[in-house]
Homo-oligomer: A and B are copies of this chain.
Amino acid sequence: MTTAAPTSSSRELPHPTREEIRLESVLHALSDPMRLQVVRELAADGDELSCSHFDLPVTKSTTTHHFRVLRESGVIRQVYRGTAKMNGLRRDDLDDLFPGLLDSVLAAATRQAVRLGGS
């Protein structure tokens, strides 16, 4: 027996392939404050985070909606792991398609957060 079976799960979620990712959709996904916040946290953590890790000021169903927009635009990758749904930035794909874009958006978000007095 193998020591560790890959911790994956049944349900599969539809993701765009790298080639299908469109800049306009990525920018649109990032243009919402809630979603930008999620992306910032994912980038800060560097690893996968469950949906429930985020404490967004909206209901669960709205949260689901925002994560779906991020996934369908190609910004994040989502996989089920047990009852949780783990979210990870698609850094490799985004950096390959649009070098420097994600980093400058994240830097801009941090700068603005500092400027507006906070975080």
Contacts and interface: CB of A to CB of B under 8 A. Distances in A.
Interface centre among A23, A98, A103 (most CB of B within 10 A): A23
Interface in A9-62: 22-25, 27-28, 30-33, 36
Q: Is the interface of A mostly helix, strand, loop or mixed?
A: helix
How many copies the complex holds: the figure is 2
Interface centre among A27, A32, A36, A97 (most CB of B within 10 A): A27
Nearest to A112: B23
A79 to B, nearest CB: 26
Contact of A112 (B22, B107, B108, B112): B22
Contacts of A115: 97
Contacts of A32: 24
Contacts of A104: 98-101, 103-104
